[in-house]
Amino acid sequence: MSVTGISNTISNGVFFSTVVQGRRIKIELPPQISPALHGLPPASPVFVGRDPHLGILLGRLDPAAGASAGSAGGPVVIVTAVGGLAGVGKTELALQSARTARDKGWFPGGVLFVDLFGYDDARRVEPAQALEGFLRALGVPGEHIPHGVQDRQRLYTSILASYARQGRRILVVIDNAATHEQARALLPADGSTGAVVTSRHTLGMLNARLLDLDILPMNDAVRLLDSTLRLARPDDTRVTDSPEDALRIAELCAGLPLALRIIGAVLIGRPGRPLAGMADELADEKARLEALRYDDIAVGAAFELSYRQLPVRQARLFRLLSLNPGPDASTDAVAVLAGTDGTAARRDLQDLARAHLVEAGVPYGRWRMHDLVRSFSDRLAAEDQEREPVLENLFGWYTHSVNIADQVMRPGRIRPDLGEPPGPAPAAFPDRNGALAWCEAEQSNLVAVVHNGVSEGLGHLVWTIPLSMWGFLTQTLSWDQWIEAHQVAADAAGRCGAHSGRGWLLNNLGTGYRAIGRPERSRAAFAAGLEVRRGLGDLHGQADSLKDMAMTARVWEDWEEALRLSHEALDVMARLTVPDRSGNAAALDIIAVSLAHLDRLDEAAAAAVGALAIWEDLDGRRDDRAWARCKLVHAGIARRRLEYGQAIGHCLEAREVFERINDTRDEAEVLRTLGELYMATDDLVSARVHWQRAVELFERLGDTVAVEALTHDLADLPEPAAGGEPDDASDDEA
């Protein structure tokens, strides 16, 4: 190009775009631009557990796959944004894929690499600086690199496009980007140049294919530890010699590759140290993050960089999240923690999830933290001045919410007066099934609230939780994790002067021990509870204890003792100022069962009729579950009298109730009984249908003993004749 007084010449190399220069300036680009391959950091020789992710990433970089996809029209976007928690191995995956793609000859123009240090304010690389580095690597002399970001970006993308047109595609690796803006200017725009971006955030606005990394499975975590040790010393067999200790270390590192590599480095420096000692050191939760440090590399420091980038409100929420004592939290619980509404809490949680500081749980609306991230959050929370009032609000919310759930599940039952909630309004439930579902979802949190609440000096606030879980526990029989919680709550109730509550809890503890087959402990707990109630002059409580003791005798088939205790309970209830009609019905129910087993069938039938009459007279205040169980007592008596039709009718009525109120265990039991009754009437088709449905429900409950027994019974049934249908198929579709 020549204009009077101006002469600009570009010669050799690749012509990128129109270049306008000043007077009499001549630019000569080198004949061949260096591929800048020397800037790619080395990949680790130890790469474990990421083969599926590597395969996905390479599939997106493969030019053959891109050409096939592009033939349908338009360029192929082959930018991949790899996201994940700090230390999960994003950079390593990017480097491994870049090395592999280069070795396969997919990017003959070379690989450009930049670490943006997006989460480190002291070393953060801005887009203009990164573009300058890329342009220099591509052979552009420093004096000809434009000053503005947009001008640099235009020149950069033109060069990449020119390389692609000449069959010299380049791969761009952008590591550690904190935001979309930091990475966007560095992305190729020609649809042929490959790019991989890594970030602790999910960068959903880059028009890129996303690939999120999770922690390693435990078997791969153990392999990573073993490979790390053997790389330094091939004869280091500590992992294979002590596989259980290696697994403990992997679990305590929560499958985080950075943590495992740090532990590997520590163990390499101490070749004589047993893995058991390392595992014991990591088992101290308060000191775990300090143990995960090697020179200037530390898991806690990696998390700290992510934390510092959070806006003030999200940083506060992150500090407080570990105060929720269970393994996960609902959005509603997080809103209580944050002192905000559900919409704001959900928005902040989604932002924290995008930063991979929390994880979306299952089902939707629940959130959890990686174990090591939780330890980091807990360390921050310990120093937060809001800790105590936030705990009181949260634990109070759980306490009052489960009490509301219990009121929905067991309306009209006597329960402790909790007063007004100390903070946010408790959860609300549309019906019994909704209350049951909430208790199921929050069970681990509620158990943890009892233990943590007592240790935090909030026993006066949380001791009622096991009582409010009673309706849930009697249906699900989830007693294992609640036994100790009942004892802790009973002790707390005694310390804060809630002696009536202590009596209640001890009585429930007796039922719990009965449920897990500990008769001596059950009797001791019942006796202790009855003693407390007698000392208080609590007639209603005494009757309650006696009924439950009678039920326990019934379970252990001590029929005479069950009769004695039931009649004693009726005598106590007769002295109540306000009659306990449901209590009378329950006692009569036990009497009916006991008399039936003692072959006093006429007396048993009379007691059962009396119990059923009370339940039906209560009408709107009737406990449907108790009524249905009373129907089963009737069925049992009719069965002993060989009145099978009547027994089947009672069972079908009971099953309808159990199904409606989502009482899976009782429904499974009545289905099993129906199968037996149909067998007795030679209706093998109906027996098969009901037993098969019972197996499905017992499998859902995890009752392997019942499943095995019914499966054996089903195997013994002869095959039904063609076209056979159960008598009540319309009522019992399987």
What does the pLDDT read at residue 258?
A: 94
Per-residue model confidence as pLDDT tens digits over 568-604: 999 999 999 988 888 898 899 899 888 988 988 888 8
C-alpha distances in Å from residue 665, one per residue of 522, 662, 726 = 22, 9, 23
Six-digit token pair at 529?
């509870």
- How many Å apart are CA 65 and CA 76, to the nearest integer? 10
Domain borders along the chain are: 1-32, 37-212, 218-301, 310-384, 454-640, 648-716
- How many Å apart are CA 468 and CA 449, to the nearest integer? 13
pLDDT band at 528 (very low <50, low <70, confident <90, very high): very high
Residue 170, strand partner residues: 110
Write out the H or E segment, with its range, that includes residue 617.
Answer: helix 601-618
Per-residue model confidence as pLDDT tens digits over 183-196: 999 999 888 889 99
Summary mean pLDDT of the chain:
86
What does the pLDDT read at residue 76?
A: 57
Six-digit token pair at 25?
């300036």
For residue 247, give every residue at least 6 positions away whose Cβ sits within 8 Å of its Cβ, in sequence order, or none.
218, 222
- Taking residues 451-479, what's their average pLDDT? 90
- The residue ranking higher by pLDDT, 39 or 473, is 473
What does the pLDDT read at residue 66?
A: 62
Six-digit token pair at 475?
């249906």
Positive or negative, the CA dihedral 269, 272, 275, 280 is: negative
What does the pLDDT read at residue 729?
A: 43
DSSP H stretches of helix in 383-498: 387-409, 432-455, 459-462, 465-468, 470-476, 480-495
What does the pLDDT read at residue 39?
A: 64
Dihedral angle of Cα 456, 460, 462, 467, to the nearest 10 degrees: 150
- How many Å apart are CA 569 and CA 547, to the nearest integer? 6
Residue 724 has pLDDT above 80, yes or no: no
Q: Look up residue 721 and give its DSSP letter.
A: P
- How many Å apart are CA 678 and CA 423, to the nearest integer? 55
3-state secondary structure of 676: helix
Positive or negative, the CA dihedral 573, 574, 578, 584 is: positive
What does the pLDDT read at residue 72?
A: 44
pLDDT band at 463 (very low <50, low <70, confident <90, very high): very high
The CATH number that domain 454-640 falls under is 1.25.40.10
Taking alpha carbons only, the member of 521, 585, 575 closest to residue 547 is 585
Using DSSP bridges, classify how beta strands 6-7 and 366-368 pair: parallel, antiparallel or unpaired. unpaired
DSSP string, 318-371: HHHHTTS-SS-EEHHHHHHHHTS-HHHHHHHHHHHHHTTSSEE-SSTTEEE--H
Per-residue model confidence as pLDDT tens digits over 4-30: 444 444 444 444 443 444 334 343 444
Angle at 377 between CA 480 and CA 322, to 5 degrees: 35
CATH architecture of 37-212: 3-Layer(aba) Sandwich (3.40)
- How many Å apart are CA 450 and CA 453, to the nearest integer? 5
Dihedral angle of Cα 166, 171, 174, 175, to the nearest 10 degrees: -160
Taking alpha carbons only, the member of 173, 120, 458 closest to residue 304 is 120
Angle at 245 between CA 239 and CA 249, to 5 degrees: 90
What does the pLDDT read at residue 617?
A: 83
Residue 620 has pLDDT above 50, yes or no: yes
Specify whether the CB–CB gap between 273 and 267 falls below 8 A.
yes
Per-residue model confidence as pLDDT tens digits over 370-395: 999 999 999 999 988 899 999 999 99
Residue 144 has pLDDT above 60, yes or no: yes
CA 488 to the chain's CA centroid: 26
Residue 221 has pLDDT above 70, yes or no: yes
Per-residue model confidence as pLDDT tens digits over 648-683: 998 898 899 888 888 888 899 899 999 999 999 999
- Taking residues 216-234, what's their average pLDDT? 96
Domain 310-384's class? Answer: mainly alpha
- How many Å apart are CA 315 and CA 24, to the nearest integer? 57
- How many Å apart are CA 559 and CA 495, to the nearest integer? 37
Six-digit token pair at 30?
């080198």
Per-residue model confidence as pLDDT tens digits over 693-717: 999 999 988 888 889 989 998 988 8
- How many Å apart are CA 638 and CA 314, to the nearest integer? 64
pLDDT band at 470 (very low <50, low <70, confident <90, very high): confident
Q: Percentage of the chain with pLDDT > 70?
A: 89
Taking alpha carbons only, the member of 572, 604, 571, 576 closest to residue 588 is 604
Positive or negative, the CA dihedral 726, 728, 733, 734 is: negative
Specify whether the CB–CB gap between 634 and 653 falls below 8 A.
no
